[in-house]
Amino acid sequence: MGRRARRRREKRRTTKVLVEAEVEVAEGLGPARERREKKRPTRPSRRLRYPRILTGVAAAAVAATILIVLSLAPWGNDGEATPSEFIVPTPRPADIPSQGTTLGSPDAPLTIVEYSDFLCPFCTDAALETVPQIEEEYVVTGRVKLVWKQFPLPQLHGEAAIVAAVASECAAEQNAFWEYHDMLFLNNKSVTFNIENLKRFAQDLGLDTEKFNVCLDEGKYMDKVAADYDEADRRGATGTPTFFVGQTMVVGAKPYGEFKKAIDDELAKLGETSEAE
């Protein structure tokens, strides 16, 4: 075999090895993974398990996902706030009924379902700016009820998104979901959503902490979170927040005017007036 032929063969072999190594790194395999496995403790882990939601990220979207993750890195990951610096929400008016993750009269003619993630910045905008206006104009008057559904995206916001979702369901068990919902959104820019802080949120809100802590440690509502996630997927939600105003889908932190139009249109279909009587 000539010198040039041998060089071409060696070059192809080297290229193949590099490609295989890149595939291993992309899939979490190879020497880096072996080193991580050796460092892992042999004792049983107390971390919550998230088998259903943590799988299934499409390979074709990996590059775009990495860019998004980098752009959102400060959210809920590096906060250094102490418990004394937690922002505690202002209680809602006592005359707004709530049950579990539903806010508003059970007899309200129109239901708005929101599929959302507590670490999503667009969800935060909607929760702190748009949803309160919907509450004031439509929920208080009994014409709309809001239903929250869990749609955490760990591929974007890490495992903390799922832990926060489970924690909010533990608060819902004590009929304090909406207070805890507000607490999460008010603090997600400055506070790490780890188990310790999520428990402190419950304490600051005056919940039964013993009951809440057991609920969170056991991951009691993981199946509920997974079911909500699957429901969002079946209904065609591909991002957060996704709202279903009756039969009208509204995606993203849209201006209040867009929600108002959708609500009024849906109420009109039901034979309801657009203004409170």
Using 50, 70 and 90 to split pLDDT, how confident is the model at 17?
A: very low
pLDDT at 92: 86
Asked if the model's pLDDT at residue 272 lies above 90, the reply is: no
Task: Find how far residue 146's CA is from the centre of its chain.
Answer: 17
Across 56-71, average pLDDT:
35
**Token pair 């937690």 is at which residue?**
86
Q: Is 206 left (phi over 0), alpha (psi -120 to 50) or beta?
A: left
Of 113, 120, 131, 52, the closest CA to residue 236 belongs to: 113
Asked if the model's pLDDT at residue 254 lies above 80, the reply is: yes
pLDDT at 1: 57
Asked if the model's pLDDT at residue 27 lies above 60, the reply is: no
pLDDT at 83: 54
Across 187-214, average pLDDT:
96
Q: 209 CB contacts (<8 Å, ≥6 apart)? A: 199, 202, 203
> Per the structure block, which two tokens stand in for 170?
């533990």
Neighbours of 111 (CB within 10 A): 16
Instruction: Give φ, ψ of 74 to 5 degrees.
Output: -70, -15
Q: CA–CA separation, 156 vs 158, rounded Å?
A: 6
Q: What is the dihedral of CA 206, 212, 217, 220, to 10 degrees?
A: -150
Q: CA–CA separation, 231 vs 210, rounded Å?
A: 31
Using 50, 70 and 90 to split pLDDT, how confident is the model at 206?
A: very high
Q: Name residue 124's amino acid.
A: T
Residue 90 or residue 151, greater confidence: 151
Asked if the model's pLDDT at residue 271 lies above 80, the reply is: yes
Domain 70-269 has CATH 3.40.440.10: no
Give residue-wise pLDDT tens across range 110-120.
999 999 999 99
Asked if the model's pLDDT at residue 138 lies above 80, the reply is: yes
Q: Where exactly are the structural domains of the chain?
A: 1-40, 70-269
pLDDT at 93: 81
Q: CA–CA separation, 260 vs 118, rounded Å?
A: 23
Q: Would you say 104 and 144 are in contact if contact means Cβ atoms under 8 Å apart?
A: yes
